[in-house]
Amino acid sequence: MARTLNELRPVYVVGIGWHRYQNPGETPYVALGLTAIREALADARIEWPAVESSYVATALLGMASGRQMLRHLGASGAPLVHIENASASGSTAFRHACIEVASGISDVALAIGVDKRNPVRRSDTGIDHLADDAIVPFTHFALLTNEYASRHRVPVDDIARVAVKNHRNGAKNPNAQRQQERTLAEVLGGKKVSGSLTALQCTPVGEGAAAVIVASDEGIRRHGINPDRAVRVTASVGRSERVYPPGVGFDAALTRETVELALAEAKRSAHELDIIELHDAFTVEELHYIESIGLCPEGHGIAMLKEGALDIGGRCAVNPSGGLIAMGHPIGPTGVGQIGEIVMQLRGEAGPRQHRDALVGLAHMVGVGAVCYVHILERCR
Protein backbone atom coordinates (compact mmCIF):
# COMPACT_ATOMS: atom_id res chain seq x y z
CA MET A 1 0.00 0.00 0.00
CA ALA A 2 1.21 3.51 -0.79
CA ARG A 3 2.54 5.51 2.14
CA THR A 4 2.29 9.22 2.93
CA LEU A 5 5.14 11.52 3.91
CA ASN A 6 3.87 11.60 7.48
CA GLU A 7 4.25 7.83 7.74
CA LEU A 8 7.99 8.04 7.01
CA ARG A 9 10.62 9.55 9.28
CA PRO A 10 10.08 13.20 10.28
CA VAL A 11 11.27 16.00 7.97
CA TYR A 12 12.00 19.54 9.13
CA VAL A 13 12.70 22.85 7.42
CA VAL A 14 15.88 24.13 9.05
CA GLY A 15 17.01 26.95 6.75
CA ILE A 16 15.31 29.56 4.56
CA GLY A 17 16.59 32.30 2.27
CA TRP A 18 15.64 34.67 -0.56
CA HIS A 19 16.89 37.01 -3.15
CA ARG A 20 14.21 39.70 -3.23
CA TYR A 21 11.67 39.24 -6.00
CA GLN A 22 12.12 42.21 -8.33
CA ASN A 23 11.33 43.66 -11.71
CA PRO A 24 13.34 42.13 -14.55
CA GLY A 25 16.85 43.55 -14.50
CA GLU A 26 20.50 42.86 -15.18
CA THR A 27 21.23 40.62 -12.18
CA PRO A 28 22.42 37.21 -13.45
CA TYR A 29 20.25 34.30 -12.35
CA VAL A 30 23.34 32.72 -10.78
CA ALA A 31 23.66 35.69 -8.42
CA LEU A 32 19.93 35.52 -7.61
CA GLY A 33 20.11 31.85 -6.71
CA LEU A 34 23.38 31.98 -4.79
CA THR A 35 22.08 34.81 -2.63
CA ALA A 36 19.08 32.71 -1.55
CA ILE A 37 21.12 29.54 -0.99
CA ARG A 38 23.78 31.28 1.08
CA GLU A 39 21.08 32.93 3.18
CA ALA A 40 19.43 29.55 3.79
CA LEU A 41 22.76 27.96 4.74
CA ALA A 42 23.45 30.81 7.15
CA ASP A 43 19.95 30.49 8.61
CA ALA A 44 20.52 26.77 9.26
CA ARG A 45 24.09 27.49 10.39
CA ILE A 46 25.59 24.79 8.19
CA GLU A 47 28.15 24.75 5.40
CA TRP A 48 27.55 23.73 1.80
CA PRO A 49 29.19 20.25 2.12
CA ALA A 50 26.44 19.28 4.58
CA VAL A 51 23.87 19.38 1.74
CA GLU A 52 23.56 15.87 0.34
CA SER A 53 21.18 16.55 -2.54
CA SER A 54 19.77 19.55 -4.43
CA TYR A 55 16.50 20.12 -6.30
CA VAL A 56 16.54 23.16 -8.60
CA ALA A 57 13.17 24.58 -9.71
CA THR A 58 12.99 26.81 -12.78
CA ALA A 59 10.42 27.51 -15.47
CA LEU A 60 12.18 29.93 -17.82
CA LEU A 61 15.92 29.33 -17.70
CA GLY A 62 16.48 26.34 -19.94
CA MET A 63 18.47 23.16 -19.59
CA ALA A 64 20.70 22.31 -16.59
CA SER A 65 20.79 25.87 -15.25
CA GLY A 66 21.51 24.68 -11.72
CA ARG A 67 24.94 23.41 -12.69
CA GLN A 68 26.22 26.89 -13.49
CA MET A 69 24.89 28.13 -10.15
CA LEU A 70 25.83 25.42 -7.68
CA ARG A 71 29.41 25.01 -8.90
CA HIS A 72 30.22 28.35 -7.23
CA LEU A 73 29.47 26.72 -3.87
CA GLY A 74 31.88 23.84 -4.51
CA ALA A 75 31.78 20.71 -6.63
CA SER A 76 30.68 18.28 -3.91
CA GLY A 77 29.50 15.48 -6.19
CA ALA A 78 26.06 15.45 -4.55
CA PRO A 79 23.03 14.59 -6.73
CA LEU A 80 21.43 17.47 -8.62
CA VAL A 81 17.89 17.36 -10.02
CA HIS A 82 16.21 20.02 -12.21
CA ILE A 83 12.43 20.42 -12.00
CA GLU A 84 9.99 22.33 -14.22
CA ASN A 85 6.29 22.14 -13.33
CA ALA A 86 4.90 25.55 -14.36
CA SER A 87 3.90 27.73 -11.39
CA ALA A 88 4.22 24.71 -9.10
CA SER A 89 7.89 24.12 -9.97
CA GLY A 90 9.18 25.27 -6.58
CA SER A 91 6.47 23.36 -4.70
CA THR A 92 7.41 20.22 -6.62
CA ALA A 93 11.11 20.64 -5.83
CA PHE A 94 10.28 21.07 -2.16
CA ARG A 95 8.12 17.93 -2.13
CA HIS A 96 10.86 15.80 -3.66
CA ALA A 97 13.51 17.15 -1.29
CA CYS A 98 11.18 16.19 1.58
CA ILE A 99 10.59 12.72 0.14
CA GLU A 100 14.32 12.11 -0.17
CA VAL A 101 14.93 13.00 3.47
CA ALA A 102 11.83 11.23 4.76
CA SER A 103 12.83 8.04 2.96
CA GLY A 104 16.26 8.01 4.58
CA ILE A 105 18.23 8.44 1.37
CA SER A 106 19.61 11.78 2.59
CA ASP A 107 19.69 13.63 5.89
CA VAL A 108 19.97 17.15 4.45
CA ALA A 109 18.56 18.37 1.13
CA LEU A 110 18.14 21.71 -0.63
CA ALA A 111 15.18 23.00 -2.65
CA ILE A 112 16.05 26.14 -4.60
CA GLY A 113 13.82 28.05 -6.98
CA VAL A 114 15.28 30.67 -9.29
CA ASP A 115 14.05 32.34 -12.47
CA LYS A 116 14.44 35.24 -14.87
CA ARG A 117 12.08 36.18 -17.66
CA ASN A 118 13.48 34.96 -20.95
CA PRO A 119 11.77 34.75 -24.33
CA VAL A 120 10.10 31.33 -24.34
CA ARG A 121 8.99 29.67 -27.53
CA ARG A 122 6.07 27.30 -27.21
CA SER A 123 6.96 24.03 -28.86
CA ASP A 124 4.74 22.82 -31.65
CA THR A 125 2.41 20.13 -30.35
CA GLY A 126 1.00 19.33 -33.77
CA ILE A 127 -2.49 20.24 -32.56
CA ASP A 128 -4.21 23.46 -33.53
CA HIS A 129 -5.55 25.62 -30.69
CA LEU A 130 -8.16 27.94 -32.09
CA ALA A 131 -8.05 30.50 -29.26
CA ASP A 132 -4.35 30.55 -28.38
CA ASP A 133 -4.08 34.27 -29.07
CA ALA A 134 -7.45 35.26 -27.66
CA ILE A 135 -8.08 33.42 -24.38
CA VAL A 136 -5.00 34.37 -22.40
CA PRO A 137 -4.86 33.86 -18.60
CA PHE A 138 -6.02 37.33 -17.59
CA THR A 139 -9.02 37.08 -19.91
CA HIS A 140 -9.96 33.74 -18.37
CA PHE A 141 -9.74 35.17 -14.85
CA ALA A 142 -11.58 38.36 -15.81
CA LEU A 143 -14.46 36.16 -16.97
CA LEU A 144 -14.17 34.10 -13.80
CA THR A 145 -14.30 37.29 -11.73
CA ASN A 146 -17.57 38.35 -13.36
CA GLU A 147 -18.99 34.86 -12.98
CA TYR A 148 -18.13 34.74 -9.26
CA ALA A 149 -19.68 38.17 -8.63
CA SER A 150 -22.84 37.26 -10.51
CA ARG A 151 -23.29 33.81 -8.99
CA HIS A 152 -22.77 35.00 -5.40
CA ARG A 153 -24.42 38.40 -5.86
CA VAL A 154 -21.47 40.43 -4.66
CA PRO A 155 -20.15 43.68 -6.15
CA VAL A 156 -17.31 42.97 -8.53
CA ASP A 157 -15.37 45.81 -6.88
CA ASP A 158 -15.35 43.86 -3.60
CA ILE A 159 -13.22 41.17 -5.22
CA ALA A 160 -10.48 43.81 -5.61
CA ARG A 161 -10.27 43.97 -1.80
CA VAL A 162 -8.08 40.87 -2.02
CA ALA A 163 -5.45 43.05 -3.70
CA VAL A 164 -5.77 45.76 -1.05
CA LYS A 165 -5.04 43.20 1.69
CA ASN A 166 -2.15 41.60 -0.14
CA HIS A 167 -0.51 44.90 -1.13
CA ARG A 168 -0.75 45.91 2.55
CA ASN A 169 1.05 42.69 3.53
CA GLY A 170 3.63 43.06 0.78
CA ALA A 171 4.46 46.58 1.95
CA LYS A 172 5.81 44.98 5.15
CA ASN A 173 7.88 42.35 3.31
CA PRO A 174 11.46 43.30 2.33
CA ASN A 175 11.55 40.38 -0.14
CA ALA A 176 8.41 41.42 -2.03
CA GLN A 177 8.45 42.80 -5.55
CA ARG A 178 5.67 45.26 -4.71
CA GLN A 179 6.16 47.07 -1.40
CA GLN A 180 3.51 49.76 -1.44
CA GLU A 181 0.11 49.85 0.26
CA ARG A 182 -2.80 50.52 -2.07
CA THR A 183 -6.31 51.80 -1.38
CA LEU A 184 -9.32 50.22 -3.01
CA ALA A 185 -9.66 53.30 -5.20
CA GLU A 186 -6.05 52.92 -6.36
CA VAL A 187 -6.52 49.24 -7.15
CA LEU A 188 -9.73 49.85 -9.09
CA GLY A 189 -8.37 52.93 -10.82
CA GLY A 190 -5.22 51.26 -12.14
CA LYS A 191 -4.49 50.24 -15.70
CA LYS A 192 -7.19 47.99 -17.14
CA VAL A 193 -5.91 44.57 -18.12
CA SER A 194 -9.08 42.69 -19.05
CA GLY A 195 -12.69 43.24 -18.07
CA SER A 196 -12.80 44.47 -14.47
CA LEU A 197 -9.25 43.31 -13.77
CA THR A 198 -6.67 46.02 -13.27
CA ALA A 199 -2.90 45.61 -13.16
CA LEU A 200 -2.82 45.81 -9.35
CA GLN A 201 -5.18 42.81 -9.19
CA CYS A 202 -2.75 40.66 -11.19
CA THR A 203 0.58 39.18 -10.22
CA PRO A 204 3.76 40.70 -11.62
CA VAL A 205 6.18 38.18 -13.15
CA GLY A 206 9.71 39.30 -12.40
CA GLU A 207 12.82 37.55 -11.17
CA GLY A 208 14.24 36.32 -7.88
CA ALA A 209 15.09 33.25 -5.86
CA ALA A 210 14.05 31.36 -2.74
CA ALA A 211 15.74 28.44 -0.99
CA VAL A 212 14.89 26.07 1.84
CA ILE A 213 16.94 23.37 3.50
CA VAL A 214 15.22 20.29 4.92
CA ALA A 215 16.74 17.82 7.34
CA SER A 216 16.01 14.69 9.35
CA ASP A 217 16.44 14.36 13.11
CA GLU A 218 19.78 12.70 12.41
CA GLY A 219 20.85 15.56 10.16
CA ILE A 220 19.87 18.09 12.82
CA ARG A 221 21.91 16.25 15.46
CA ARG A 222 24.95 15.59 13.28
CA HIS A 223 25.31 19.18 12.10
CA GLY A 224 24.42 20.88 15.38
CA ILE A 225 21.33 22.60 13.95
CA ASN A 226 19.14 24.35 16.52
CA PRO A 227 16.08 22.06 16.87
CA ASP A 228 14.01 24.87 18.39
CA ARG A 229 13.92 26.66 15.02
CA ALA A 230 13.11 23.52 13.02
CA VAL A 231 9.58 23.39 11.55
CA ARG A 232 8.11 20.00 10.73
CA VAL A 233 6.53 19.13 7.37
CA THR A 234 3.48 17.06 8.34
CA ALA A 235 1.92 16.65 4.89
CA SER A 236 2.98 16.83 1.25
CA VAL A 237 0.54 16.02 -1.55
CA GLY A 238 0.69 16.46 -5.30
CA ARG A 239 -2.09 15.76 -7.78
CA SER A 240 -2.90 16.35 -11.42
CA GLU A 241 -6.20 17.22 -13.07
CA ARG A 242 -8.94 14.73 -13.85
CA VAL A 243 -11.80 15.06 -16.31
CA TYR A 244 -14.32 17.21 -14.46
CA PRO A 245 -18.02 17.64 -15.28
CA PRO A 246 -18.98 20.61 -17.46
CA GLY A 247 -19.16 23.86 -15.54
CA VAL A 248 -16.85 22.74 -12.74
CA GLY A 249 -13.93 25.08 -12.06
CA PHE A 250 -11.01 22.71 -12.54
CA ASP A 251 -8.49 24.76 -10.51
CA ALA A 252 -10.85 24.90 -7.54
CA ALA A 253 -11.86 21.24 -7.84
CA LEU A 254 -8.25 20.10 -8.07
CA THR A 255 -7.39 22.29 -5.08
CA ARG A 256 -10.22 20.82 -3.03
CA GLU A 257 -9.10 17.25 -3.76
CA THR A 258 -5.45 17.97 -2.97
CA VAL A 259 -6.14 19.91 0.24
CA GLU A 260 -8.47 17.19 1.53
CA LEU A 261 -5.68 14.64 1.17
CA ALA A 262 -3.11 16.92 2.80
CA LEU A 263 -5.35 17.74 5.78
CA ALA A 264 -6.09 14.04 6.28
CA GLU A 265 -2.37 13.24 6.12
CA ALA A 266 -1.58 15.88 8.75
CA LYS A 267 -4.64 14.92 10.80
CA ARG A 268 -5.83 18.50 10.75
CA SER A 269 -8.95 20.41 9.73
CA ALA A 270 -9.12 23.62 7.72
CA HIS A 271 -10.24 25.51 10.81
CA GLU A 272 -6.94 24.68 12.54
CA LEU A 273 -4.91 26.55 9.91
CA ASP A 274 -3.27 29.74 11.15
CA ILE A 275 -1.34 30.67 7.97
CA ILE A 276 -2.17 30.02 4.31
CA GLU A 277 0.05 30.96 1.40
CA LEU A 278 -1.88 30.30 -1.82
CA HIS A 279 -1.80 30.89 -5.56
CA ASP A 280 -3.43 34.31 -6.02
CA ALA A 281 -2.15 35.26 -9.46
CA PHE A 282 -5.48 37.07 -9.85
CA THR A 283 -7.70 38.37 -7.05
CA VAL A 284 -10.62 36.02 -7.65
CA GLU A 285 -8.34 33.01 -7.21
CA GLU A 286 -7.85 33.73 -3.52
CA LEU A 287 -11.60 33.59 -2.96
CA HIS A 288 -12.02 30.37 -4.92
CA TYR A 289 -9.15 28.70 -3.09
CA ILE A 290 -10.01 29.66 0.48
CA GLU A 291 -13.47 28.23 -0.19
CA SER A 292 -11.97 25.09 -1.73
CA ILE A 293 -9.62 24.72 1.24
CA GLY A 294 -12.64 24.85 3.53
CA LEU A 295 -12.13 28.10 5.42
CA CYS A 296 -15.72 29.03 4.59
CA PRO A 297 -18.65 27.85 2.47
CA GLU A 298 -18.72 28.66 -1.23
CA GLY A 299 -19.53 32.30 -1.85
CA HIS A 300 -18.66 33.43 1.70
CA GLY A 301 -15.09 34.49 0.94
CA ILE A 302 -15.98 38.15 0.44
CA ALA A 303 -17.64 38.30 3.85
CA MET A 304 -14.52 36.88 5.52
CA LEU A 305 -12.36 39.32 3.60
CA LYS A 306 -14.43 42.38 4.52
CA GLU A 307 -14.60 41.47 8.22
CA GLY A 308 -10.81 41.12 8.42
CA ALA A 309 -10.80 37.37 9.07
CA LEU A 310 -8.12 36.85 6.39
CA ASP A 311 -5.85 39.62 7.68
CA ILE A 312 -2.69 39.21 9.70
CA GLY A 313 -4.13 39.05 13.21
CA GLY A 314 -7.49 37.76 11.94
CA ARG A 315 -8.88 34.24 12.08
CA CYS A 316 -6.37 32.94 9.51
CA ALA A 317 -3.68 35.04 7.84
CA VAL A 318 -3.98 34.40 4.09
CA ASN A 319 -0.95 35.40 2.03
CA PRO A 320 0.83 37.33 4.79
CA SER A 321 3.85 37.53 2.46
CA GLY A 322 1.77 39.63 0.07
CA GLY A 323 0.90 36.61 -2.06
CA LEU A 324 1.65 36.44 -5.74
CA ILE A 325 -0.09 39.80 -6.20
CA ALA A 326 2.43 41.72 -4.07
CA MET A 327 5.23 39.31 -3.22
CA GLY A 328 5.48 38.55 -6.94
CA HIS A 329 5.60 35.40 -9.04
CA PRO A 330 9.01 34.73 -10.60
CA ILE A 331 7.56 31.23 -11.22
CA GLY A 332 10.43 28.92 -10.29
CA PRO A 333 10.93 30.34 -6.77
CA THR A 334 7.30 31.00 -5.86
CA GLY A 335 6.38 27.72 -4.18
CA VAL A 336 9.68 27.61 -2.28
CA GLY A 337 9.17 31.18 -1.09
CA GLN A 338 5.74 30.25 0.28
CA ILE A 339 7.40 27.61 2.46
CA GLY A 340 9.91 30.17 3.68
CA GLU A 341 7.15 32.60 4.68
CA ILE A 342 5.28 29.92 6.61
CA VAL A 343 8.46 28.88 8.41
CA MET A 344 9.10 32.49 9.45
CA GLN A 345 5.55 32.75 10.76
CA LEU A 346 5.69 29.49 12.71
CA ARG A 347 9.05 30.46 14.23
CA GLY A 348 7.60 33.82 15.26
CA GLU A 349 10.22 35.64 13.18
CA ALA A 350 8.03 37.48 10.65
CA GLY A 351 8.40 40.90 12.26
CA PRO A 352 5.64 43.35 11.28
CA ARG A 353 3.88 40.57 9.32
CA GLN A 354 3.76 38.22 12.31
CA HIS A 355 0.45 36.46 12.87
CA ARG A 356 -0.02 35.81 16.57
CA ASP A 357 0.37 32.27 17.98
CA ALA A 358 0.85 30.69 14.55
CA LEU A 359 1.16 26.89 14.87
CA VAL A 360 -0.03 25.40 11.56
CA GLY A 361 0.51 26.63 8.01
CA LEU A 362 -0.57 25.46 4.56
CA ALA A 363 1.15 26.21 1.24
CA HIS A 364 -0.81 25.79 -2.01
CA MET A 365 0.21 26.13 -5.64
CA VAL A 366 -1.37 25.18 -8.94
CA GLY A 367 0.47 24.93 -12.23
CA VAL A 368 -1.61 25.95 -15.28
CA GLY A 369 -4.52 24.09 -13.71
CA ALA A 370 -2.90 20.78 -14.56
CA VAL A 371 -1.17 20.16 -11.23
CA CYS A 372 -1.67 21.13 -7.60
CA TYR A 373 0.74 20.82 -4.67
CA VAL A 374 -0.16 21.32 -1.01
CA HIS A 375 2.14 21.21 2.02
CA ILE A 376 1.31 21.52 5.70
CA LEU A 377 3.93 22.66 8.20
CA GLU A 378 3.72 22.77 11.97
CA ARG A 379 5.61 24.26 14.86
CA CYS A 380 6.20 21.24 17.05
CA ARG A 381 9.20 21.96 19.29
Domain with CATH 3.40.47.10 in the chain: 5-116+205-231, 137-197+233-378
> Of 33, 327, 40, 349, whose CA–CA distance to 174 is shortest?
327
The CATH code belonging to domain 137-197+233-378 is 3.40.47.10
List, for residues 255-296, the tens digit of each pLDDT value: 999 999 999 999 999 999 999 999 999 999 999 999 999 999
CA angle 191, 364, 376 (to 5 degrees): 150
List, for residues 199-224, the tens digit of each pLDDT value: 999 999 999 999 999 999 999 999 99
Give the model's confidence band at 242: pLDDT under 50 very low, under 70 low, under 90 confident, else very high. Answer: confident
- Residue 136 pLDDT greater than 70, yes or no: no
List, for residues 163-177, the tens digit of each pLDDT value: 999 999 999 999 999
Spell out the alpha helix ranges (H) of the chain. 29-44, 65-70, 89-103, 137-152, 156-159, 161-170, 184-188, 217-222, 250-266, 283-293, 301-306, 323-326, 334-347
pTM: 0.94
SS3 content of the chain, % helix, strand, coil (to 5): 40, 20, 40
CATH superfamily, region 5-116+205-231? Thiolase/Chalcone synthase (3.40.47.10)
